[in-house]
Structure 1
Amino acid sequence: MSETVTTSSGHAAYHAASKGWFHGDHRRLGGPEAWLIWVLATTFVVWLFAIQTGYAVVSPDIQQDAGLTIGQIGLAASIYTWVFALVQFFSGALLDRFGPRPLMAIAVAFVAAGAFLYAGTTNFGTLATAQAVLAIGSSFGFVGAGYLGGNWFGAAKYGLMFGLVQTFASLGSAVGQPLILATLDNMSWQQLLVAFGVFGVLLTILFFAFVRNPAPAPGVVVEKPRGNVFGNILRDLGKTFANIRVVLASILAGASFGAMLAVGTLWGPRVMEARGADTDFATVLTALAWLGLAVGAPLANLVSNRWGSRKWPAFYSLIFQALAIALVIYLPTEGQGAALTLMFAIGFFAGGHMLGFTIAGEVVPGSLVGSASAIVNGICFIIGGLLQSIPSQLLPDDADLSDFQAALWLIPVVVVVGAVAALVLPEKKTAAASA
């Protein structure tokens, strides 16, 4: 069992691993070292998001070159999300117990290895293996960045720093898809993925060199984790899952981000191409969705704080997101102009999913913040995987617009379910919420 001591900032004090791995007297919260570590963590998330969302751009080439079906392409995407979700539940708990060093550096190395495997895809088995390796490393990315932001900038700024991570990740995705498309005019998709892998090697070195936790506050005593680590992690996960607010926060966040992930990385471009749009236009539209998420993610917490409520901003965000998704799917063929605004709106209102992390972080002890965040993020990707794989199994190989419309109704329905979860969420007034 690991004992923790809560500091004046409200976060749990750091574990005894910090005395070994986090050697040295590490500097004040919010200082230059804090910003360096946060920038590296955010760069990791932007990079892995670029690989993840770039799948929408390179999947047609992979399908053709490897002789795969659209069902296999969809299944490979869902393998990523399912492995990610499974490992995700343990990644947050591991960060709670041992901190980010060397766990975060190892995670970056996994993503780099996955990119190299991805580049070598010649059949479905290779692609599935690459997606699994990528997912293992990526499971530490977003939650790890939020964990580091909370530790290095204080509990009061946890939600805001998490939202900013999502903003930069979404901006990277918005810019990354058109850049990937343009880059593919000058190099093969295999060469592009090798370049991603080489960048990952450099980032791994930087993580080993710089990323660590701040030292405990003066006078705070930390103790080494004792007992069966795996058993303790399962116990912590059980405690977190037992909190109904964490469960409802996970459902509302999962419905919102899962739908965004499905639309932004796979189905958005395919629907637009079925309407007659060329690949360039379809890519711009999905980039707009990620740009909308970049704007909406930090605003969700700011609006929530101003409103003095978590549930109502989350509820309205989900309702408007469901409406925008339904309109994109069921617009007439000639409605491509309206799709520009609607795709931005899908991402913008998906920013409300960040409130799921804020809610979960506020209703558990500081020692379980990583576990709570990991559960929320894991549910996000489980739902995203289902919304990628289920429609792909319902589509014929040569799907037209009516086929997509018949298969994709599930996505807005799931978002409405998330809105119901937000509606029944017990409101918890906090200092942050009433500020």
Structure 2
Amino acid sequence: MSTTMDTDHPGTEYRRHPGARILHGPHRTIGGVEAWVIWVLCALFVVWLFAIQTGYAVVSPEIQKTASLTVAQISLASSVYTWAFALCQFFSGALLDRFGTRPLLAIAVMFVTAGAFLYAQTTNMATLVIAQIVLAVGSSFGFVGAGYVGGQWFPAARYGLMFGLVQTLASLGSAVGQPAISWQLDHMTWQQLLNGFGAMGVLLIVLFALLVRNPTPGPEALRQATARPPLFASIFKDLGKCFANRNVVLSSVLAGVSFGSMLAVGVLWGPRVMEARGADPSFAATLTAMSWLGLAVGAPLFNLLSDHWHDRRTPAIVGVLLQAVAIALLIYLPKETTSVSMVVMFAVGLFAGAHMLGFTVAGESVGGALVGSSAAIVNGICFIVGGVLQAVPGRLLPDNPGLSDYGSALLMMPILLVIGALAGFFIKETAREPSS
């Protein structure tokens, strides 16, 4: 057995059985400088992988030409990433609950880096699919990992806001990244661009290995760690507890249709619809970036409004319904009008910010010990729905689709958003009035 010092009570030791979670102490200043350094690094990881992920909307036409692929194959490859991500996501949250961020996040960055380099070597469908799967394994720890850090290194009352800020930074990165990637493709090949992303990943690996730690738990958390069952039994037990919670399931449905629609629009279909409406590819990428800019505003905004009104359900339901209206306008506006298109794309992202309340509700419904698992389930459902909304329309579209073809294929998005809003009515309120 080894011993661990309680940094809150110097001189006290707690015995730790072999196989219990490896702890790195003393690192327990909640909300302190180290907490912010680790959170910023995790946020940078999310921004970087989001840039790779959403850059697919801009790079995919070049890959399609180089590898002689069809639109259906490009959309299928995009959905393979999404489904692989969703599958890994369910386990990543439970692993974070079990082991913490070190060394898991450094390993995750390694996978994304390897995926970026593989991505740059794409010459056929098989290579593209393998690259997408490797990227997905690493990426599954990114967003949930940043949310986990916010929940472990900061006060519990700030969990939703810290998670929203991660989404804000990721969305801002996507909003800036898509036009930047489009501009860079005029000055370099898409292979060089993706190799550049891989080089950035090597730097992140070093920073994560050197700086990211787990917060040292107090005596109660140590006692729980020594009593944990074997790894796989623990993972499935934690997932089972979360899936048995009605709020986790319903908030996953609401968040899933909201972010899934946003992902499908922001990663794949947004630029294609805009091009069918008459926009040139570079301007279509700029318009799509407006949706990510909207999400950057909406992600923390809905949490702030929810905290102010002490109401999780109503802002979530209203936001998802307004998102349905915005996507319907995106699909069915007859012609490309610059000002109207920019407002509509911004609104799609702004109201998609309501999906962040799904993470807040799920986390508040299960408690701190399962916060990683609950966040992973919500995020996993988000990407499963996103995968469906990327793959299915691709199967419905002809080889050279027009605007009316997109209108028919993408009709499922506003329909699913209405269903998600209906699920919100059955969520049990988790917001608490401040104590007097």
Decide: shared fold, TM above 0.5: yes
Q: What secondary structure sits across from 1:424 in the alignment?
A: coil
> CA contact under 8 A between 1:56 and 1:265: conserved in structure 2?
yes
Q: 1:392 aligns with which of 367, 391, 394?
A: 394
Q: Pairwise mapping of residues 302-317 of structure 1 onto structure 2 (< 5 A)?
A: 302-317=304-319
Distance 2:291 2:119 in 1: 25
Distance 1:314 1:93 in 2: 26
Aligned to 2:361: 359
Q: What is the CA distance between 1:25 and its match in structure 2?
A: 1.2
- Structure 2 CA distance for partners of 1:52 and 1:225, relative to 1, 3 Å: farther
> CA contact under 8 A between 2:20 and 2:228: conserved in structure 1?
no
Q: Letter of the aligned partner of 1:149 in structure 2? A: G
- Structure 2 CA distance for partners of 1:82 and 1:220, relative to 1, 3 Å: closer
Aligned to 2:3: none
Displacement over 6 Å in runs of 4+: 15-20
Aligned to 1:284: 286
Higher alpha-carbon deviation: 400-409 or 106-115? 400-409
Higher alpha-carbon deviation: 418-427 or 403-412? 418-427
Q: What secondary structure sits across from 1:399 in the alignment?
A: coil
Aligned to 1:198: 199
> CA contact under 8 A between 1:21 and 1:102: conserved in structure 2?
no
Q: What secondary structure sits across from 1:384 in the alignment?
A: helix
Q: Letter of the aligned partner of 2:157 in structure 1? A: A
Distance 1:156 1:405 in 2: 42
> CA contact under 8 A between 1:18 and 1:213: conserved in structure 2?
no
The percent of aligned pairs where both chains have the same amino acid is: 63
Q: What is the CA distance between 1:156 and its match in structure 2?
A: 1.3
Aligned to 1:140: 141
Q: What secondary structure sits across from 2:366 in the alignment?
A: coil
- 1:215-258: per-residue Cα shift (whole Å, max 9, x none)? 12478644336433112211111111011110000000001000
Aligned to 2:158: 157
> CA contact under 8 A between 1:97 and 1:225: conserved in structure 2?
no
Distance 1:41 1:199 in 2: 14
Aligned length: 421
- 1:251-294: per-residue Cα shift (whole Å, max 9, x none)? 00001000000001110000000011101110111100000000
Aligned to 2:46: 45
Q: Letter of the aligned partner of 2:117 in structure 1? A: F
Q: What secondary structure sits across from 2:417 in the alignment?
A: helix
Q: Letter of the aligned partner of 1:29 in structure 2? A: I
> CA contact under 8 A between 1:255 and 1:414: conserved in structure 2?
yes
Where structure 1 has 5 or more consecutive residues not aligned to the other structure, the ranges are: 1-6, 8-14
Q: What is the CA distance between 1:426 and its match in structure 2?
A: 2.3
Distance 1:221 1:263 in 2: 44
Aligned to 1:111: 112
Distance 2:200 2:283 in 1: 28
Q: Letter of the aligned partner of 2:363 in structure 1? A: G
- 1:324-362: per-residue Cα shift (whole Å, max 9, x none)? 000010001154431110100000000000000000000
Aligned to 1:265: 267
Aligned to 2:12: none
Higher alpha-carbon deviation: 282-291 or 224-233? 224-233
Q: Letter of the aligned partner of 2:25 in structure 1? A: G
- Structure 2 CA distance for partners of 1:314 and 1:82, relative to 1, 3 Å: same
Distance 1:375 1:247 in 2: 8
**TM-score (normalised: structure 1):** 0.93
Distance 1:286 1:326 in 2: 15
> CA contact under 8 A between 2:307 and 2:431: conserved in structure 1?
no
Q: Pairwise mapping of residues 412-423 of structure 1 onto structure 2 (< 5 A)?
A: 412-423=414-425
Distance 1:277 1:186 in 2: 21
Distance 1:251 1:87 in 2: 18
Aligned to 1:371: 373
Aligned to 1:319: 321
Aligned to 1:251: 253
Aligned to 2:13: none
Higher alpha-carbon deviation: 400-409 or 42-51? 400-409
Distance 1:333 1:289 in 2: 18
- Structure 2 CA distance for partners of 1:305 and 1:18, relative to 1, 3 Å: farther
Distance 1:121 1:305 in 2: 46
Q: What is the CA distance between 1:146 and its match in structure 2?
A: 0.5
Q: What secondary structure sits across from 1:73 in the alignment?
A: helix
Q: What is the CA distance between 1:150 and its match in structure 2?
A: 1.1
Q: Pairwise mapping of residues 323-334 of structure 1 onto structure 2 (< 5 A)?
A: 323-334=325-336
Distance 2:110 2:137 in 1: 10
Higher alpha-carbon deviation: 184-193 or 19-28? 19-28
- Structure 2 CA distance for partners of 1:72 and 1:24, relative to 1, 3 Å: same
Aligned to 2:35: 34
- Structure 2 CA distance for partners of 1:212 and 1:16, relative to 1, 3 Å: farther
- Structure 2 CA distance for partners of 1:27 and 1:18, relative to 1, 3 Å: farther
- Structure 2 CA distance for partners of 1:158 and 1:220, relative to 1, 3 Å: same
Aligned to 2:4: none
- Structure 2 CA distance for partners of 1:96 and 1:219, relative to 1, 3 Å: closer
Q: What secondary structure sits across from 2:45 in the alignment?
A: helix
Where structure 2 has 5 or more consecutive residues not aligned to the other structure, the ranges are: 1-7, 9-15
**TM-score (normalised: structure 2):** 0.93
- 1:272-317: per-residue Cα shift (whole Å, max 9, x none)? 0001110111011110000000001001111001112101000000
Q: Letter of the aligned partner of 2:300 in structure 1? A: P
> CA contact under 8 A between 2:262 and 2:352: conserved in structure 1?
yes
Distance 1:353 1:207 in 2: 29
> CA contact under 8 A between 2:56 and 2:267: conserved in structure 1?
yes
Aligned to 2:242: 240
> CA contact under 8 A between 2:20 and 2:226: conserved in structure 1?
no
> CA contact under 8 A between 2:22 and 2:99: conserved in structure 1?
no
> CA contact under 8 A between 1:18 and 1:215: conserved in structure 2?
no
- Structure 2 CA distance for partners of 1:288 and 1:271, relative to 1, 3 Å: same
Q: Letter of the aligned partner of 2:172 in structure 1? A: L
> CA contact under 8 A between 1:17 and 1:98: conserved in structure 2?
no
> CA contact under 8 A between 1:17 and 1:99: conserved in structure 2?
no
Higher alpha-carbon deviation: 295-304 or 334-343? 334-343
- 1:384-409: per-residue Cα shift (whole Å, max 9, x none)? 00000000000111111111111110
Distance 2:374 2:107 in 1: 22
